[in-house]
Amino acid sequence: MEQSTINTTHVKKINRKPIRLLSLSHKIHKWLALLIGAQFIIWSITGAYMVFFDIDYIHGDSLIINHQNKIQPEHLTYSSKALFRQYPQAENLSVGLLIDREVYRFNVNSQKYIVDATNGDLLSPLNKNKALALAKHAYSGRGELISAELITADPPFELSARHLPAWRINFDDFGSPALYISANSGKIVTKRHEFWRLFDWMFRLHVMDYDDGENVSNWLLFIFALLAIFATCSGLVLSYYKAIKPIIRQRKKAIKSSKYIGENNTLSMDDKS
Amino acid sequence: MMQWVKKIHKWVSLLIGLQVFIWVLSGLIFNVIDHNKARGNAYRQAISTKQNIIAEKDLLPVESILAAYPDTIELSQTTLLSKPYYLLTKEQALYQHFANTYQLVNAISGELTIVDKQLATDIAKASYNGPGNITSTTLLTGNIADFTKQKNPSWQVNFSDKLQTSVYVEQGSGRLVGHSNSDKRFANFFFMLHFMDYNHEGSFNNVQIIFFAFVTLWLTLSGLVWAIHLLRLGKYHKKYI
Render pLDDT for A19-71 as a digit per residue (tens, 0 to 9). 788 889 999 999 999 999 999 999 999 999 999 999 999 999 999 999 999 99
pLDDT in tens, chain B (241 residues): 889 999 999 999 999 999 999 999 999 999 999 989 999 999 999 887 666 667 888 889 999 999 999 999 999 999 999 889 999 999 999 999 999 999 999 999 999 999 999 999 999 999 999 999 999 999 999 899 999 999 999 999 999 999 999 999 999 999 999 999 999 999 999 999 999 999 998 899 999 999 999 999 999 999 999 999 999 998 888 777 7
For A76, the closest chain B residue by CA position comes to B63
C-alpha B163/C-alpha B75 separation (Å) is 38
Are the C-beta atoms of residues B65 and B109 closer than 8 Å to each other? no
Q: Which uninterrupted H or E stretch holds B32?
A: helix B2-32
Which of B3, B11, B31, B66 is most worth mutating to test chain A (most A CB atoms within 10 A of its CB)?
Answer: B31
C-alpha A109/C-alpha A95 separation (Å) is 19
Q: Which among A68, A73, A216 has CB closest to B31?
A: A216
Q: Which of A205, A25, A38 is nearest to B220 (CA)?
A: A38
Q: Which of B2, B20, B25 is nearest to B219 (CA)?
A: B20
- Residue type at position A255: I
- Which residues in chain A touch residue B28, judged by CB atoms under 8 angstroms apart? 222, 225-226, 228-229
Q: Which uninterrupted H or E stretch holds A178?
A: strand A178-182
Task: Give Cα separations from A68 to B71, B74, B185 (angstroms).
Answer: 10, 10, 36
Residues of chain A with confidence (pLDDT) below 50: 1-9, 11-12, 266-273
Are the C-beta atoms of residues B157 and B137 closer than 8 Å to each other? yes
Could you tell me the domains of chain A? Answer: 68-124 (3.10.450), 125-218 (3.10.450)
DSSP B64: H
For B217, the closest chain A residue by CA position comes to A44
Per-residue model confidence (pLDDT) at position A264:
52
Per-residue model confidence (pLDDT) at position B42:
93
Q: Judge if pTM exceeds 0.95.
A: no
Which of A51, A199, A241 is most worth mutating to test chain B (most B CB atoms within 10 A of its CB)?
Answer: A51
